[in-house]
């Protein structure tokens, strides 16, 4: 009958559309590599899509980019920022920035699980903020925001039972993201209990992974060039030669230009935006009781370290300071900060992570910090003095000895006397 013909004319295109979408997303596509230009944009974009994805990160690492793993400090892109220095002076390495406000060890652990094999015998710079080491550790809302289903599925389908794996799965289960997918949650629960994932779960996960891989492949190419343009503009303020003396002069000049309207040596624009008026009043002595010495973050960091060890990644760890004047004002304890620093270093050194840039004593230097807790002009420069030789010269192979005790609650709570 006529009506039947009409109905096919109506739903025919729908079926075709659904089929086409299925083909695009479920069948492996391999849309080809992203362009060098996209790679360059992505390396400094701090885009959450790139962070959660796999395609661009893996390709960039294969092409020689060095991951700079950190958090909010990476967005402080003044002319002394590592990305600007590396671009301007055509260094043998180029940073690939991974991290934004709220990304801590646990987020990085999952977000890097698919790219770890690309990092085998390569180098990374890991900026560990003592501010991560709160009683709660990784904030669940931030975890949710940066949670990458793609990388987490990769992790799940490649998980081998170990103390680290169980710990990671248990931590994941405490995050709301773990509940976003019922079958995945069941698989994580299995892994947390030391069991293998079922074949049904594996089928589901690999199907979902295909979909996500294709989506990543398609969409991660859309990267904004805004930060790259910013970097290129910042380059113009640097001297022609890569000399510490000249760079220090520039850092001092830029620091002096940008600060001055407040007693903390905080960048004026930051002060106006975030602190001026009531805010600063409310923060007086507000951090008196802050304690970074006891935190699940220690074990979360251990997850990353164990992955670095497994893939023989050569890691340079940077521990930034707080702005000294600011710490005094807010009552943040020097002693506590030093203890935190010591505990982090103990954990690193006892396992063979010996390339450490400890800046925690430099927070009082002029123009070292851009604002309250983030490295700026001279801080970046000081870091560069160790990062540059580490990344440009060949390093002897690292020998890591991972110790499971760092996954224990005892270590998290240890006061490290």
Partner 1 sequence: MVNLQPYASPSYFIIIGLCLLPIIVGLYHGKRFVAYETLFSLVFIVLTFGGDHWHQGVALIGYVLYQLLIVGGYARYRRRNNQTSVFVAAVVVAIVPLVVVKVTPAIQVGSQSLLGFLGISYLTFKAVQMVMELRDGTIKAFQPLPFLRFLLFFPTISSGPIDRYRRFEKDYRTAPERAKYLQLLNKAVFYLFLGFLYKFVLGYIFGKLLLPEVAHAALLQRAAFFHTGLSLPLLGYMYTYSMYLFFDFAGYSLFAVAISYLMGIETPMNFNRPFAAHNIKDFWNRWHMTLSFWFRDFIFMRFTFFLMKHKLVKNRVRISQCAYLVNFLIMGFWHGVTWFYIVYGLFHASAIIINDYWLRFKKRHQGLPHNRWTEGLAIFTTFNIVCFSFLIFSGFLNVLWFK
Question: Of the ranges 1-9, 112-120, 132-140, 365-373, which one interacts with partner 1 (CB under 8 A)?
Answer: 1-9
Nearer to partner 1, 257 or 385 (CB): 257
Q: Terminus-to-terminus CA distance in the chain, angstroms?
A: 87
| Rounded Cα–Cα distance for residues 62 and 56 (Å) | 10
Distance of closest approach, residue 7 Cβ to partner 1, in angstroms: 7
Q: Which residues does residue 96 pair with via DSSP β-bridges, in sequence order? A: 67
# of chain residues touching partner 1 (CB under 8 A): 12
**Does residue 75 bind partner 1 (CB under 8 A)?**
no
Question: Of the ranges 76-84, 146-154, 220-228, 335-343, which one interacts with partner 1 (CB under 8 A)?
Answer: 220-228
**Does residue 277 bind partner 1 (CB under 8 A)?**
no
Interface with partner 1 (CB under 8 A), residue from 29, 162, 224, 252: 224
Cβ neighbours of 417 (radius 10 Å): 5
Distance of closest approach, residue 345 Cβ to partner 1, in angstroms: 38
Interface with partner 1 (CB under 8 A), residue from 3, 240, 245, 397: 3
Distance of closest approach, residue 270 Cβ to partner 1, in angstroms: 14
Residues 6-45 that bind partner 1 (CB under 8 A): 6-7, 9-11, 13-14, 17
Distance of closest approach, residue 6 Cβ to partner 1, in angstroms: 5
Nearer to partner 1, 253 or 276 (CB): 276
Distance of closest approach, residue 350 Cβ to partner 1, in angstroms: 42
Nearer to partner 1, 5 or 335 (CB): 5
Distance of closest approach, residue 48 Cβ to partner 1, in angstroms: 11
Distance of closest approach, residue 26 Cβ to partner 1, in angstroms: 13
Nearer to partner 1, 7 or 23 (CB): 7
Nearer to partner 1, 9 or 415 (CB): 9
Interface with partner 1 (CB under 8 A), residue from 16, 19, 222, 286: 222
Question: Of the ranges 4-12, 93-101, 190-198, 232-240, which one interacts with partner 1 (CB under 8 A)?
Answer: 4-12
Q: Taking a C-beta distance cutoff of 8 angstroms, is the pair 138, 106 a contact?
A: yes
Cβ neighbours of 329 (radius 10 Å): 18
Nearer to partner 1, 3 or 240 (CB): 3
| Rounded Cα–Cα distance for residues 157 and 303 (Å) | 17
What would the x/- binding string for partner 1 be over residues 166 to 205, using CB under 8 A? ----------------------------------------
Distance of closest approach, residue 129 Cβ to partner 1, in angstroms: 25
Question: Of the ranges 221-229, 315-323, 329-337, 367-375, which one interacts with partner 1 (CB under 8 A)?
Answer: 221-229
C-alpha 226 chain-centroid distance: 20
Nearer to partner 1, 23 or 222 (CB): 222
**Does residue 226 bind partner 1 (CB under 8 A)?**
yes
Nearer to partner 1, 102 or 239 (CB): 102
| CA angle (150, 156, 160) in 5-degree steps | 145
Phi and psi at residue 346, in whole multiples of 5°? -55, -50
Question: In the complex, which residues of this chain contact partner 1 (CB under 8 A)?
Answer: 3, 6-7, 9-11, 13-14, 17, 222, 224, 226
């Amino acid at each position: 009958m006529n009506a039947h013909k009409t109905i096919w004319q109506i739903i025919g295109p729908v079926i075709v559309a659904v089929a086409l979408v299925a083909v695009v997303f479920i069948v492996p596509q391999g849309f080809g590599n992203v362009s060098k230009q996209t790679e360059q944009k992505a390396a400094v974009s701090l885009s959450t899509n790139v962070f959660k994805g796999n395609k661009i990160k893996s390709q960039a690492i294969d092409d020689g980019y060095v991951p700079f793993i950190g958090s909010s400090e990476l967005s402080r892109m003044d002319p002394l920022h590592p990305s600007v220095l590396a671009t301007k002076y055509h260094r043998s390495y180029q940073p690939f920035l991974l991290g934004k406000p709220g990304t801590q060890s646990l987020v990085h652990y999952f977000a890097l699980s698919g790219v770890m094999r690309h990092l085998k015998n390569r180098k990374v710079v890991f900026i560990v903020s003592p501010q991560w080491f709160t009683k709660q550790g990784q904030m669940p809302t931030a975890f949710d925001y940066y949670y990458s289903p793609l990388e987490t599925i990769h992790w799940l389908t490649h998980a081998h039972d170990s103390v680290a794996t169980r710990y990671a799965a248990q931590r994941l289960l405490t995050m709301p993201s773990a509940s976003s997918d019922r079958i995945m949650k069941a698989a994580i629960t299995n892994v947390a209990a030391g069991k293998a994932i079922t074949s049904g779960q594996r089928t589901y996960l690999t199907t979902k992974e295909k979909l996500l891989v294709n989506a990543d492949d398609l969409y991660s190419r859309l990267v904004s060039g805004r930060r790259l343009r910013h970097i290129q503009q910042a380059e113009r303020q640097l001297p022609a030669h890569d000399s510490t003396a000249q760079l220090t002069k520039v850092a001092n000049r830029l620091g002096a230009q940008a600060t001055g309207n407040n007693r903390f040596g905080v960048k004026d624009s930051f002060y106006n935006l975030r602190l001026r008026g009531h805010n600063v009043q409310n923060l007086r002595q507000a951090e008196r009781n802050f304690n970074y010495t006891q935190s699940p973050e220690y074990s979360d960091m251990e997850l990353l370290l164990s992955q670095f060890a497994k893939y023989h990644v050569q890691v340079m760890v940077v521990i930034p300071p707080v702005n000294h004047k600011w710490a005094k004002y807010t009552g943040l304890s020097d002693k506590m900060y030093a203890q935190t620093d010591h505990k982090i270093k103990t954990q690193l050194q006892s396992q063979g992570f010996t390339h450490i840039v400890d800046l925690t004593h430099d927070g009082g230097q002029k123009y070292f910090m851009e604002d309250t807790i983030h490295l700026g002009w001279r801080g970046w420069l000081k870091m560069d003095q160790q990062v540059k030789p580490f990344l440009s010269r060949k390093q002897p192979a690292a020998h890591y000895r991972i110790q499971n005790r760092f996954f224990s609650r005892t270590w998290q709570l240890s006061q490290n006397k």
